Structure 1
C-alpha cells in the first residue's frame, strides 16, 4: 500500500491516563507510516496532558488539544474530525488500541475498489488487565455479523450500519465522507451507533475485512456502562433513532433485525424506571422482537411491567 495516503487516527479521551498510552503507542507503531494521531482531551484534570507532554512531546505525528471546558463525547469526536488533515480517518477510543498492521489491512481493499469509502474489520475483546480471550472475541464478532462469509463489499451498505456489523471504532473511511456526516450530540448516548448508520447509508461502498484490526477493552467505568439501566442509555436512544429513521424499502428488514436486538432491552429499561406504559407500547408495537409472543422473555417482561404499574400507584 502506498504511503502517499495520509491517515488521521482520531483519539477522544476522558480521564484515562493509565490506558491512553497503550492506545497512542499502538497508533505510532503502525506498519503504515504516514499517519497523524489527533487527540482531543476532555479530562477534568491535567494528568493526561502531563503524560502527553512528557512522553510524546518530540513526536510530530501527535496533535494534542485539551478541551477546556470539556466538549462531551459527540462534540469531542466531531472536533477531532474537523482537525484531521489526512485522506482517511480512523477512530479509536482511548481505552482501545490497534493491531500493529491494522491501518495497513484496512487500506488494502482500496487498491482494487477505487469507489470504496468505508472499511472495517474484527475486534478482539480485551479484559481491563489486557487479557485477550480468542473464543470470546470470535463470538463477539459473530454476534455482530462479522463472519468470513460476509467478507468483501457489502451488497447493502446501509444494512452494515443498521445491524451493528459496523463497529463503534477501529474503522477506516474517506475523510471527506466522515466530515460530511459528522458526530451529532442530538443522538445522546447512541451517537456512535447513529454515526455508523448514517455513514454506511451515505457510502457508495463499504468493505468488511475478516481479520482482527483492533482491540476493544471492556471497562466498568464508561458512560455507556454507567447509564445502561437508565432511560438515557444508548439502547433507549438507539431505539428512538431507529424508530424514526427514514429508510428505503430494501433496508426495512435490516431495521427489524436491529430492533429485535434493542426492543427487549428498552422494554426492560422502562419497566425498571417506572415507565411501564411506555415499555408496554414499545413491546406491543414490535411483537416480532418477541417472536409474536412465542418468546418466554415476552411474558417475563409483561410481568416486570405489571409490577412496575402496581408500584407506581399511590
Structure 2
C-alpha cells in the first residue's frame, strides 16, 4: 500500500492560524504519496496570503479560493471531485492528523483488500491544542469505539448511523466517497447524512483501535453556534433518520441513533416556541428517555409546559386585543 495515492481534503473558512496546524500534520505524514486539496471559503485574503507566502513551492498542496464561498457541503463536495487519489481522507481546518494516521489506516487494506472504509480513535483537544486523555477516552466510548468491536464491522450501516465513524480523519475508497459525497440540501446536517449513507453503501468497514487524529473542541464551532436553532445539525439529522428507508436489521441502529438525537431535538423545539411539536416527539420516542427513568425527560416536559403556557398567553392577548 506504500504506492497508494491519498487525497487529503481540507476545507477551511476564516481560520488561517488553525489551518497551519492542520496542514502541518498533513505534510508530516509518514505515508508520502499524498496530495492536499484545500478549499477556502474565507471572507478575506488571509488564508490565501498564508498559502502564497509559506506553501508556494510545496507541490503537494493544491489551493483553491472559492469566490463566492460555496458553503460547507459544496466546498467539501468540490474537494472530493478534485481528488485524484485512490483513497480520500477528510480533515477539517481546526483538527489534525497523527503523523502515522494514513499509514495506520492503510494497514487495514493489507488485511482486507476489499475494504471500503477505515477509521480509528480521535484525541480530543482544547482551543490551544492541548489533549485531554480522559475526555478522549470518553469521546470514543460515547461513539461506540471500544475494544469489543475492533476490526471488520458486522453491520457497516450501523457504523454510520450511530456515528461510530467520525466526521473526519477516516480513509475511504475515492470512488465510494465521490458517489455519496456531501449534499447541501441537508444543511449542517450534511456531516451526519454523509457518514450514515457512506457506511450503508459500504460492503466492508474497519475500525482500528488506535488514535489516528485530533478533534478540537472549541467554543466557536458551527455545531455550538447553531445548537439551539431549528436548523441545528441534530434537528436535520432527526428528519433524515425518520425518513430513511432501512433494512430491518438496521432498525436497532436507527433507534440507538435516535436515542442520542431525540432529546436534543425536543429541547430545540421547546426553546423555539414549538412546544406541541416537542411534546409529540418526546412522547413518541420515550425509549430515548429510558421510559421515564431519565431526569432529562422531566426537564424537557417543564420546558414544553412553559412553552405551552406562553403560547396560550400570547393567543389570549391577541384575541383580547
Please report the TM-score for the alignment, with normalisation by the length of structure 2. Answer: 0.96
Partner residue in 2 for 1:107:
106
User: For 1:220, what is the secondary structure of its paired residue?
Assistant: coil
Distance across 2 between alignment mates of 1:214 and 1:293: 38
* Residue range with higher mean Cα deviation, 263-272 or 290-299: 290-299
1:114-151: CA deviation from partner (whole Å, max 9, x where unpaired)? 11000000000010111101111011000000112211
Q: Secondary structure at the match of 1:9?
A: strand
1:218 and 1:264 mapped to 2: Cα distance? 21
Match of 2:311 in 1: 312
Aligned with 2:259: secondary structure? Answer: helix
| Structure 1 residue 216: Cα displacement | 0.3
- Name the counterpart of 2:319: none
Mean CA deviation greater in 215-224 or 22-31: 215-224
CA distance in 1, matches of 2:217, 2:292: 33
Q: Residue in 1 aligned with 2:252? A: 253
3-state SS, counterpart of residue 4 of structure 2: coil
Distance 1:205 1:138 in 2: 25
Distance in 1, matches of 2:290 and 2:21, equals 44
Deviation of the 1:294 alpha carbon: 2.7
Measured after TM superposition, the shift of residue 296 of structure 1 is 2.2
Which position in structure 2 is the counterpart of 1:202?
201
> How far apart are the structure 1 equivalents of 2:281 and 2:103?
43
Q: Distance in 2 between matches of 1:159 and 1:287?
A: 21
Shift of 1:4: 1.4
Match of 1:136 in 2: 135
Q: Show the counterpart of 2:285.
A: 286
Q: Which residue of 1 aligns with 2:235?
A: 236
Q: What's the counterpart of residue 80 of structure 1?
A: 79
Superposition pairs of residues 1-314 of structure 1, within 5 angstroms: 2-313=1-312, 314=314
Q: Distance in 2 between matches of 1:38 and 1:3?
A: 20
Secondary structure at 1:121's aligned position in 2?
A: strand
Deviation at 1:299, TM superposition (A): 1.9
CA distance in 1, matches of 2:42, 2:103: 31
SS in 2 for 1:274: coil
- TM-score, normalization by structure 1: 0.98
**How far, CA to CA, are the matches of 1:291 and 1:101 in structure 2?**
41
3-state SS of 2:279 partner: helix
**1:10-48 C-alpha deviation (Å, 9 max, x unpaired):** 000000011101111100100000000000000000000
C-alpha deviation, 1:297, in angstroms: 1.7
> CA separation in 1, counterparts of 2:282 and 2:261?
11
Runs of at least 5 residues in structure 1 that lack an aligned partner in the other structure: none
State the structure with more CA Rg. Answer: 2
Distance 1:70 1:221 in 2: 19
CA distance in 2, matches of 1:307, 1:209: 46
The two structures, once aligned, show a CA RMSD in angstroms of 0.8
Tell me the SS of whatever aligns to 1:188.
Answer: helix
- TM-superposed deviation, 1:293: 2.3
Q: Aligned pair count?
A: 313
